[in-house]
Amino acid sequence: MPEAPTAKTAPAYGYAPGAHAEALEFIEHVTANAGQVQRRVLGEILAQNAPAEYLRRYGIPGSPDVVDAFRRLVPLVTYEGLQPDILRIANGDTSPIFSGKPISEFLTSSGTSGGERKLMPTIADEMNRRSLLYSLLMPVMSQSVSGLDKGKAMYLLFVKAESRTPGGLAARPGCIVIAWATC
């Protein structure tokens, strides 16, 4: 994953002019070089998950051309196509089915599209990626919404109860909607 801007650039509280410059430069870099960044990140993901059963099913090699092999050999799939393996994990199977790292929890969808919440296996490193996303919200919003550094802000969060799978892993909401308003 591309390196996130350091915490030094965006103060935890308040706003300083230019404080978001590093975050905005990061966004500019990854969007201007999207193809290169995506290829590198996919290569890192595939290398980390080389032991995964899912990749071995398609004959993905652990070699330098792994990205091209993945694009050529692994088809697009639906959630339903992955569901049997997801249920194996939910029921306690700890073998490396999708990931070379242990599944630490499940994120759940809201269930609004089909009534059933979908389980999305995640690893501990996923929290770092979510933190990166959230660290970029203020810099982006401050470009279009004046006054974010004044007054109050309101967050609206989508909340559902956390549950446990039969295998004991936490299953918590993965969809959080944030709305921002200044007063």
Residue 182: C-alpha distances to residues 1, 18, 24, 35, 149 (Å): 32, 20, 21, 36, 9
* Residue 149 scores a pLDDT above 50: yes
Residue 98 resides in a domain: no
Q: What is the pTM of this model?
A: 0.75
Examine residue 171 and state whether it is found in any structural domain, yes or no: yes
Within-domain flag for 172: yes
With respect to residue 41, please indicate whether it lies within any of the assigned structural domains.
no
Task: Assess if residue 85 is contained within a domain.
Answer: no
Q: Is residue 156 part of a domain?
A: yes
> What's the burial of 119, exposed, middle or buried (CB within 10 Å: 0-12/13-18/19+)?
buried
Alpha-carbon distance of 133 to 119, in angstroms, equals 21
How many domains are contained in the chain?
A: 1
- Is 173 domain-assigned? yes
pLDDT digits (tens, 9 = 90+) for 72-129: 999 999 999 999 999 999 999 999 999 999 999 999 987 777 778 899 999 998 888 8
* 2 is a domain residue: no
Joined together, the tokens standing for residue 156 give 């609206």
Containing structural domain, residue 117 = 103-182
